[in-house]
Structure 1
Amino acid sequence: MDEDLRERLRTAAASHRPDRARMLARIERGMAEEPPARPTRAPRSPMPWLRVAGATAAVCGVLTAGALAVTSAGQEEPAGGQRVAAEPTPSGPASPSPGRGGALPAGSGPLWSDGSLNPNSNNYWAQSEVTVKTTRPLTELTVELRIALNGGVDTTGSWRSLPVEDFAASAREEGGFLVYRWTLKPGRGVPTGTHTFAGQYNHAEGARDTGRDDYTARARTADGRTSVGGDFAETH
C-alpha cells in the first residue's frame, strides 16, 4: 500500500462519526430475534426441614385445639364456676331434732313432739320452740309453752307455722311461769305434718337455766283425744 492510500484512510477514519441511535436499535433487534431462554429450575430451599417442622407444628396445634374443644363440650359448668350436685329427695318427712337445750322427743298415738331452744338464742334473748308432728288431721289442738320466770324473763312475742287466723294466742304470767298458749279455733283443722309453735322473750345477761321450762300439746282426731308433753334440757 502506498503512502497516498494510507493518508486517505487516516483522513476518513478521523472524520467518521458513529450513529449511536442506529447501533442501539440494531442491538435491540438482535435481542428480539434471539430464541427464548430455557426455563431454569427454582433453587431448592437451603433448609427443607424447616417446612416439615412448621407443618408438623401446625398439625399438632389443630389436633390439640380439637381435643380441647371435645373436652369442653363434654363438661357443663354452672354459673359462678362451680359444679352443683342435686341432693336426693327424702322418702318421707325428716323428724325434727332437738336444738341447743332440747330434750328428748315424746310421742303418743298419732302425735309426736319436741321442745328445744332455738340456736339463734343469745345471752340476752331466747326463743323456745315446741314442735308437733301429727300423722292424722286434728280437729282440736291446744299447745302450752311454760317458761319459768327466772333471770328477768319478759315476753317479746310468739309465732306459729300454721295460719295465724286459725288460732287464738295469748301470753301471760301464771303461777311463776310465762305461759304461751295457742288454741285451735272451732271449725278449723290442723293437717297432717310437722308444725312449730315458738315463744320469744328477753332475760338477764348470761345463759338462762331452762331446767323448769316445759310444754304440753292436747289434740283430738277422728279416733279420739290424745296428748303429748315434755321439758327442755337444763342449761347453765
Structure 2
Amino acid sequence: MDEDLRERLRAAAASHRPDRARMLARIERGMAEEPPARPVRAPRTPMPWLRVAGATAAVCGVLTAGAFAVTSAGQEEPKDGQRVAAGPASPGPASPSPGRGGALPAGKGPLWSDGSLDPNSNGYWAQSEVTVKTAQPLSALTVELRIALNGGVNTTGSWRSLPEQDFAASAREEDGFLVYRWTLKPGRSVPTGTHTFAGQYNHTEGVRDTGRDDYTARARAAGEQTSVGGDFTETH
C-alpha cells in the first residue's frame, strides 16, 4: 500500500471523535420500542401411531359398552344371590274374535246353531244362512230367519238341506222384517246331524247393514222343548 495513503488513514482515525450522546439516544429509542410480535405456531398434530392408538381405544370402549348392555338385557334381577337368565315371554292364549255382527255359535241341550252371511253375497244380493246341528232326532222343528227391511230388501227365494216335502215354508213381511219360516210337518222328523236353512234377497247397491237381522230355532227332542237363536256374521 502507498505509504502516503497509510499516513492519511492513521491521521483520520486519530482525529475521529465518536458522538457518544447520539449513540446513547439511539440505544434508548431502541429499548423503548415494543418488540415485534412472535408468530403463532400451529398446534402440532399427533404422531400417526398416536391417532391409531386413540381410535383403537374408542372402538374397544364401544364394544365393551355394547356387550354390557346385551348382558344386562338378558338377565333378571338376582334371586337368592344368583342372577337368572330371562327367557322369551310366552304368548298368552289368543281370544277368538267374533265375525261381522258379533255372532257366535249358540247351543242348548242337543241343539246347536249358527248364523252367517254367505261369502258369495255381493253389493246387490245376499244369502243369510242358519245352520242347525242336533245330537238327537227332532220330532218338531221351526226355524225363523228375520231380515230387516233396510236397504231395499226383497226376497229372491229360499232353500233348506232337508227334504222339501218335510217342511211348510213361507216368506212374508212382518213388523219391518222379511221373515223366512220353515216348519216341520206333523209326523215327520229331523235326523241327527247338521242342517242348513237359507234365505236369499236383493238389496240396494252397497254394503247392507245386517245388525238387526236374527234367527231362532225351536225344536222338540226326546219329548223336551229346546230353542236356540242369534244373529249373523260374514263368513270368509
Structure 1 equivalent of residue 147 of structure 2: 147
Structure 2 unaligned blocks of 5 or more: 1-97
Task: Look up the equivalent residue of 2:196 and give its one-letter code.
Answer: T
Structure 1 equivalent of residue 137 of structure 2: 137
Any conservation in 1 of the 2:101–2:211 contact (CA below 8 Å)? no
SS of corresponding position for 1:194:
strand
Distance apart, 1:99 and its partner CA: 7.8
Structure 2 equivalent of residue 125 of structure 1: 125
Write the distance in 1 (CA, Å) between the matches of 2:101 and 2:195: 19
Matches within 5 A, 1:64-213: 103-213=103-213
Write the distance in 2 (CA, Å) between the matches of 1:141 and 1:114: 16
Any conservation in 1 of the 2:100–2:232 contact (CA below 8 Å)? no
Write the distance in 2 (CA, Å) between the matches of 1:99 and 1:187: 38
SS of corresponding position for 1:181:
strand
Any conservation in 2 of the 1:118–1:129 contact (CA below 8 Å)? yes
Any conservation in 1 of the 2:102–2:233 contact (CA below 8 Å)? yes
Aligned residues: 137
Any conservation in 1 of the 2:101–2:231 contact (CA below 8 Å)? no
Q: Which has the higher contact order (CA 8 A, sep 6+)?
A: 2
Write the distance in 2 (CA, Å) between the matches of 1:202 and 1:233: 18
Write the distance in 2 (CA, Å) between the matches of 1:212 and 1:199: 15
Write the distance in 1 (CA, Å) between the matches of 2:166 and 2:114: 22
- Percentage of matched positions with identical amino acids: 86
Distance apart, 1:223 and its partner CA: 3.8
Write the distance in 2 (CA, Å) between the matches of 1:101 and 1:230: 10
Distance apart, 1:103 and its partner CA: 1.6
Moved over 4 A (4+): 98-102
Matches within 5 A, 1:40-51: none
Over the aligned positions, Cα root-mean-square deviation in angstroms equals 1.6
SS of corresponding position for 1:152:
coil
Report Cα offsets for 1:175-230 as digits up to 9, x if no partner: 00000000000000000000000000000000100000000000001141100000
